[in-house]
Amino acid sequence: MKEKTKTNDVKIKETGNGTEKTKPTAAKKDAKKDAAAKKKYEKELAALKEELEKLNDLNLRRAAEFENFKKRKEREVEEFWKMANVGLIKKLLPVVDDFERSLEAAQKDKNCDSLLQGVELVYKSLKSVFADEGVVEIDALNQPFNPEIHEALMQLEKDGVDSNIVLDQHQKGYMIGENLIRPAQVVVSK
């Protein structure tokens, strides 16, 4: 018995009595559908794998770009602070020049008056730089003790003075705006 297949999936069987046409069974049709579906899913899977590779590559590139961005910003911040310090240093250079001139004058004249005048000049120059930069002294003397801007070195009893009043200042404190640079070191009444 021989089987011949036509293009329309109809099978022809040759038997001893003649030929007989048969249609494919449901199982064979399902197998063909399964094979077609399998090919379709394999194509979709391949496309998804390719898309995943592209996304992973993109993710790696973005991570590298972000790391480079962070490093660049760190360098820029470091450079900014260096340049900010350069401005302050430029303002302090005339103060150093005044100190040098004062020392030279004191060595030549051996006179304390010229040294005193030179030191006063330097002090005024330095105070001027501080003022330009927004640095202000903390006025502590005879003020109520404030632990946020004062550092108590000791307490003393003094007649006629309320407790927690600054009696003496050992070292001046400084602020820039609302930011404390250094607290004033003070003696406080008991």
Distance CA 146, CA 161 (A): 16
Instruction: Please give the average pLDDT of every successive group of 10 residues along the chain, which has 190 residues.
Output: 50 57 68 86 94 96 96 91 74 78 75 77 85 88 95 92 92 87 92
Considering 133, 155, 174, which residue would you say is the last residue of a domain?
A: 133
Domain assignment present for residue 17? The answer is: no
- Spell out the alpha helix ranges (H) of 110-132: 112-132
Domain assignment present for residue 29? The answer is: no
**Which residue is associated with the tokens 């946020």?**
148
pLDDT at residue 143 in the model: 94
DSSP 8-state class, residue 22: E
**Which residue is associated with the tokens 């900010």?**
84
pLDDT at residue 24 in the model: 60
Same-domain pairing of 48 and 123: yes
Same-domain pairing of 47 and 115: yes
Number of domains the chain contains:
2
pLDDT at residue 30 in the model: 79
CATH number, position 165: 2.30.22.10
Domain span at residue 166 reads 135-190
The residues near 181 (Cβ < 8 Å, ≥ 6 apart) are 135, 173, 174, 175
Do 20 and 12 contact (CB within 8 A), yes or no?
Answer: yes
pLDDT at residue 66 in the model: 96
DSSP 8-state class, residue 172: -
DSSP 8-state class, residue 143: S
Closest CA to 144 of 166, 161, 159: 166
Domain assignment present for residue 46? The answer is: yes
pLDDT at residue 104 in the model: 78
Domain assignment present for residue 11? The answer is: no
**Which residue is associated with the tokens 């109520």?**
144
Same-domain pairing of 102 and 87: yes
User: Burial level of 166, CB count in 10 A (0-12/13-18/19+)?
Assistant: buried
Same-domain pairing of 92 and 125: yes
